[in-house]
Amino acid sequence: MYSKKKINFIPWAKILFPINRSLTGSGNVKTLKFIEKFSKKKFKIKYFKTDDKCFDWKIPKEWEIKQAYIKDENNNEICNFSKNNLHVVGYSSPIDIKTTLKKVKKNIFYDKTLPNAIPYVTSYYKKFWGFCLPFNKFKKLNTKKKYHFFIDSKLFNGKMHYSELLIKGKSKKEILICSYICHPSMANNELSGPLVITALAKSLKPNKYSVRLVLIPETIGAIAYINKNLNHLKKNLVAGFNLTCCGDNSELSYVKTKNENTYADKIIRRLFPKIKSFNFMDRGSNERQFGCQNLNFPFITVCRSKFGKFKEYHTSADNLSFIKKKNLNDTFQRMVSIINEIQNSKIYTKRNFCEPYLTKYNLTNPLSRKENKNNKFLKNIREILAYSDKNTDEKELSKLLKIKLSETKMLNKILEKNKLIKEFI
């Protein structure tokens, strides 16, 4: 189904890293086109329009930025957007003023815990402008002197782009794998997910279930995507996985669903029994949307270090030296093993509500006798009918019933022949 050849992610990362990305903008489109080129697969680049309503949200204006800098009175450069795009608060409005630091104190950001790093700050939904500096650089500035603050940007009615690739299987039922393309130059928190998705696009072949790879902006992108595809997801989603922070040295981990017992939860625990997990209360990426209270999709986030749990998170210290080719390959191979496990498993769902009248199918004695209660075959039949759903495959049923997989398969064939269950395909 896939090549075991290891992927060299680093050349892709070096090209993608400097591109300025946000919720919207030409940098996102450029990123999506590069990923299509690297994977040699035809991702469909799509978009939502500014002010499109998505549940409780609206798509924001498109943001473009040409240049930005801070200079002192002698025209010495303090920082420049062209040298590191984290220097500007994301979605900053245009500004061209000369004033003291004291008067714009609320517009300057730094992180004392990482004094040599530039923090990542955004203001997507409120008009604002700002700059981000390493703390050690900020504290050397003279608060009494005037500085030139310049941002050449614009906000306008435009588009929010995303892309998807459907690897069609025999079934319309889908495995969904997504990541986000809305952060500027950060390697683990931003690039690692799209890099692994690029490798999956390059490697996966058609199988039983279709596989859909999606690259969207975080939060608003996921909300808009769900809003557009809600009925399709309800009908066809087998399991979903959000990829982020998957290139660092930590072991694989994941953020569980709210109820912790969806098919996605079960598959990752089955394959990696010792995997570190985080409660849904620790959510923070797109699992918040797909796994929200009234959707409860079988959707988890897969990571190595969890977002927010490593000191370099959301700073310029999350650079290309922070991710490693071997870690990206390990995440890639583990995702392939997850996909293979799902493709090679069978899920059955009941055809009717409540308990079926088993006598009608000659599966039980019509007389309520003691031998019925002690009949192991009948007990297993009833348990399979009770537990067969979209979150429980044959291997899980075998584990629950404490019987061999071959016996579970045999019982499922009997029930399928009697049209009491059907394969989720």
d(CA 59, CA 158): 9
Residue 174 sits at the vertex; the CA angle it makes with 273 and 341, to the nearest 5 degrees, is: 30
Given this model, what pLDDT does residue 381 score? 95
Backbone angles phi, psi at 413, to 5 degrees: -65, -40
Q: pTM of this prediction?
A: 0.95
d(CA 58, CA 2): 39
Scanning the structure block, which residue is given the tokens 């941002």? 151
What's the CATH number for 10-60+159-343? Answer: 3.40.630.10
Say if residue 73 is exposed, middle or buried (CB neighbours under 10 Å; 0-12, 13-18, 19+): exposed
d(CA 39, CA 302): 21
Nearest CA to 25 among 82, 84, 91?
91
Given this model, what pLDDT does residue 370 score? 53
CB neighbourhood size of 378 (10 A): 16
User: What would the two tokens of residue 52 be?
Assistant: 């499109």
Confidence grade of residue 368 (pLDDT, cut at 50, 70, 90)? low
Q: Domain spans of the chain?
A: 10-60+159-343, 64-156, 348-423
Nearest CA to 348 among 399, 398, 385?
385
Confidence grade of residue 1 (pLDDT, cut at 50, 70, 90)? very low
d(CA 359, CA 376): 16
Q: What are 319-336's pLDDT values in tens digits? A: 999 999 999 999 999 999
Backbone angles phi, psi at 68, to 5 degrees: -165, 145
**Same topology for domains 10-60+159-343 and 64-156, yes or no?**
no
Q: What are 123-136's pLDDT values in tens digits? A: 999 999 999 999 99
Average pLDDT over residues 374-379: 86
Confidence grade of residue 2 (pLDDT, cut at 50, 70, 90)? very low
Q: What are 50-87's pLDDT values in tens digits? A: 999 999 999 999 999 999 999 999 999 999 999 999 99
- Contact criterion met (CB below 8 Å) for 41 and 165: yes
Given this model, what pLDDT does residue 293 score? 73
d(CA 130, CA 150): 10
CB neighbourhood size of 2 (10 A): 16
Confidence grade of residue 144 (pLDDT, cut at 50, 70, 90)? confident
Amino acid residing at 291: G
- Contact criterion met (CB below 8 Å) for 138 and 202: no
Given this model, what pLDDT does residue 5 score? 73
pLDDT at 369 over 80: no
Amino acid residing at 333: Q
Amino acid residing at 374: N
pLDDT at 228 over 90: yes
Given this model, what pLDDT does residue 294 score? 87
What are the CA-CA distances from residue 79 to residues 112, 141, 187 (Å)?
18, 12, 21
Q: Which residue has the higher pLDDT, 294 or 411?
A: 411
Which CATH superfamily does the domain covering 64-156 fall into? Domain of unknown function DUF2172 (3.50.30.90)
Mean pLDDT of the chain: 95
Average pLDDT over residues 11-39: 98
Given this model, what pLDDT does residue 375 score? 85
d(CA 133, CA 1): 47
Average pLDDT over residues 172-196: 97
